[in-house]
Amino acid sequence: MTTLALPASRPPTRPARWLLGSVGLVLALIAAALATLSYGQVAIPLGEVVDALFNPAADTVAGRILRDLRLPRVGTAIVAGAALGLAGVLMQALLRNPVADAWSLGLMAGGQLGVALTVAGAAFAGPAALSFLEVFRGVSLTLGAAAGVAIAAIAVLTLGRRVGAVTLLVVGLMLTFTVQGIVSVVVHFVSRAGARVFGGWNDGNFASVLPAEWPLLAGVVLVGIVLAGACAKPLNSLLLGETYAKSLGTHVGRLRVLALTATVLLVAPVTAFCGPVTFIGLIVPHIARAIAGTARIGPLLPLAGLSGALLAVAADFVVHLPWQQHFLHLNAVLALVGAPVVIALLLFSPTMRGLR
């Protein structure tokens, strides 16, 4: 930077920064996606990957692995990672809390509980309800999750205006443990058939989405992304606090409802299809802020979406490397990256240390 401190010299450099970051992230995302598609228990040369992607008619073993297993998984990781990253930006701005995220504050726990109660309700209603549930698995689980996420989000938002950032985080984590307890009790009493509907839960997983369910996941998330975009301007004014936001003409109540709806649409389908995916929503907004060089919401949204997708695909790549025995757990990989970031935030962020 030159010594010329006139702000007029700044605006033209700003868009370039987030635009450059976005382009870089897109390239990295393509590279990570191709790596995940071609490498795993079975290595498929990049040439064959490209072949299979553009010639779906050719029925080879490699083509089937790609189309039936890896492509849905990578697609799910991209959608889920982007959704969680955006939801993290919205929640951190709304609560003015640097460790807010759908998982850390218990929104995903609410979603899990919603799904568990949906399945349990169907199981008790009888085999007809259960088979109905299995046919319309995607829609009903998403609705169950959405109800749970919404209730948890309203509770957290209400509580967030009364307690500090650290208290809210601890409450959110305890809520998660509570729900995990309830879910396992519910699963215990629900018949095996019911338990099967949400088998392999309590761990995040991008591999459990069927290709037919992918459009539902992506569609709901897309609506959430559009709503998040509509929140960007009013959320900026909220960065200075509620009174300033009002004085700048922002309908704070309306904004809360809008941002909350966007969060539910982003988080609920991911929770329903992928289980509780930890840490992505928490650390991605910080990555986006570092790249953008500002906390303004507008530039953060594309950066957070892309870095969320990149982090999810990269984690999924590590999970599915040809390990000696089976796969790693997704949340274990995410915790290795995410937990140190959270510890650093707790130690060094003025907000978390209660200094402000």
Partner 1 sequence: MKESPSLLLLDGLTVGYGRTAVLADLQAHVEPGGFVCVLGRNGSGKSTLLRTMAGLQPALSGQVRLGDEAVGPMPPAERARRIAVVLTEQAHSPGLTTEDVVALGRQPFTDWRGVLSDQDHTYVREAFALAGATPFAGRLFDDLSDGERQRVMIARAIAQRPALMLLDEITAFLDLPGRVEVMALLRRHARETGTVILLSSHDLDLSLQLADAVWLLADGALHVGTAEALITGGNIGAAFNTADVSFSAERGRFELRL
Nearest to 309 by CA among 33, 67, 55, 6: 33
- Of 240, 257, 321, 343, the residue at the interface with partner 1 (CB under 8 A) is 240
- Of 124, 244, 257, 321, the residue at the interface with partner 1 (CB under 8 A) is 244
Question: Could you tell me the smallest distance in angstroms from the CB atom of residue 19 to partner 1?
Answer: 14
* 284, 288, 294, 297 alpha-carbon torsion, rounded to 10°: -70
- Of 294, 335, 339, 341, the residue at the interface with partner 1 (CB under 8 A) is 294
Task: Give the angle 220-224-230 at the CA atoms, nearest 5°.
Answer: 150
Which residue number, 10 or 329, has a Cβ lying nearer to partner 1? 10
Stretch that binds partner 1, among 137-145, 211-219, 229-237, 334-342 (CB under 8 A): 229-237
Question: Could you tell me the smallest distance in angstroms from the CB atom of residue 82 to partner 1?
Answer: 20
3-state SS of the chain is CCCCCCHHHCCCHHHHHHHHHHHHHHHHHHHHHHHHHHCCCCCCCHHHHHHHHHCCCCCCHHHHHHHHHHHHHHHHHHHHHHHHHHHHHHHHHHHCCCCCCCCCCCHHHHHHHHHHHHHHHHHHHCHHHHHHHHHCHHHHHHHHHHHHHHHHHHHHHHHHCCCCHHHHHHHHHHHHHHHHHHHHHHHHHCCHHHHHHCCCCCCCCCCCCCCCCHHHHHHHHHHHHHHHHHHHHHHHHHCCCHHHHHHCCCCHHHHHHHHHHHHHHHHHHHHHHHCCCCCHHHHHHHHHHHHHCCCCHHHHHHHHHHHHHHHHHHHHHHHCCCCCCCCCCHHHHHHHHHHHHHHHHHHHCCCCCCCC
Which residue number, 156 or 232, has a Cβ lying nearer to partner 1? 232
Question: Could you tell me the smallest distance in angstroms from the CB atom of residue 247 to partner 1?
Answer: 5
Distance from C-alpha of 26 to C-alpha of 24, rounded to nearest angstrom: 6
Could you tell me the two tokens for 143? Answer: 């609705």
Which residue number, 189 or 244, has a Cβ lying nearer to partner 1? 244
Which residue number, 67 or 96, has a Cβ lying nearer to partner 1? 96
What is the gyration radius of the CA atoms in the chain, in angstroms?
A: 21
- Of 27, 55, 226, 251, the residue at the interface with partner 1 (CB under 8 A) is 251
Please tell me whether residue 230 binds partner 1 under the rule CB under 8 A: yes
Which residue number, 67 or 246, has a Cβ lying nearer to partner 1? 246
Please tell me whether residue 247 binds partner 1 under the rule CB under 8 A: yes
Please tell me whether residue 96 binds partner 1 under the rule CB under 8 A: yes
Q: What x/- string results for residues 5 through 24 when contact with partner 1 is judged by CB under 8 A?
A: xxxx-xx-------------
Which residue number, 188 or 356, has a Cβ lying nearer to partner 1? 356
Please tell me whether residue 248 binds partner 1 under the rule CB under 8 A: yes
Q: Counting every residue, how long is the chain?
A: 356
Question: Could you tell me the smallest distance in angstroms from the CB atom of residue 242 to partner 1?
Answer: 10
Stretch that binds partner 1, among 135-143, 159-167, 243-251, 256-264 (CB under 8 A): 243-251
Which residue number, 177 or 244, has a Cβ lying nearer to partner 1? 244
- Of 17, 193, 202, 246, the residue at the interface with partner 1 (CB under 8 A) is 246
Please tell me whether residue 298 binds partner 1 under the rule CB under 8 A: yes
Question: Could you tell me the smallest distance in angstroms from the CB atom of residue 7 to partner 1?
Answer: 4
Please tell me whether residue 289 binds partner 1 under the rule CB under 8 A: yes
- Of 63, 85, 98, 276, the residue at the interface with partner 1 (CB under 8 A) is 98
Distance from C-alpha of 110 to C-alpha of 124, rounded to nearest angstrom: 21
Which residue number, 22 or 176, has a Cβ lying nearer to partner 1? 22
**Is there a contact between 53 and 46 (Cβ–Cβ < 8 Å)?**
no
Which residue number, 137 or 296, has a Cβ lying nearer to partner 1? 296
Residues near partner 1 (CB under 8 A): 1, 5-8, 10-11, 96, 98, 230, 232-233, 236-237, 239-241, 243-244, 246-251, 289, 293-296, 298, 349-351, 356
